[in-house]
Amino acid sequence: MAILNITYNGLSADYPVPLDDKIADRDVRRIAVELVRSGGVPGLQIANLSERAFDNYVIDRFGPRAGQRIYLRPKVPFGAGARR
């Protein structure tokens, strides 16, 4: 069992989910969209949440494989990139 933490719309909530420890990032994002749509995450229900709501989010994983904590948070890099 893993604990998935989702931060969205000013709220941060934990949700215990039976996830494979090797679950891909894209699948974590997809599951998070479904959880938020269905109201599975306490205090965070958005029925019409976009499929792409978490496209610009990253996943941090902590702890042992069993009981892993998975954080879905917004990415925060900035950068000028190559000069235009």
Q: Which residues bind other proteins (CB under 8 A)?
A: 7-12, 53, 56-58, 60, 73-84
Nearer to other proteins, 22 or 83 (CB): 83
CB 82, min distance to other proteins, A = 7
CB 57, min distance to other proteins, A = 6
Separation CA 62–CA 68 (nearest Å): 6
Separation CA 67–CA 73 (nearest Å): 19
**Cβ atoms 49, 39 nearer than 8 A:** no
* Nearest alpha-carbon partner for 53 in 18, 8, 15, 16: 8
Nearer to other proteins, 18 or 48 (CB): 48
CB 47, min distance to other proteins, A = 16
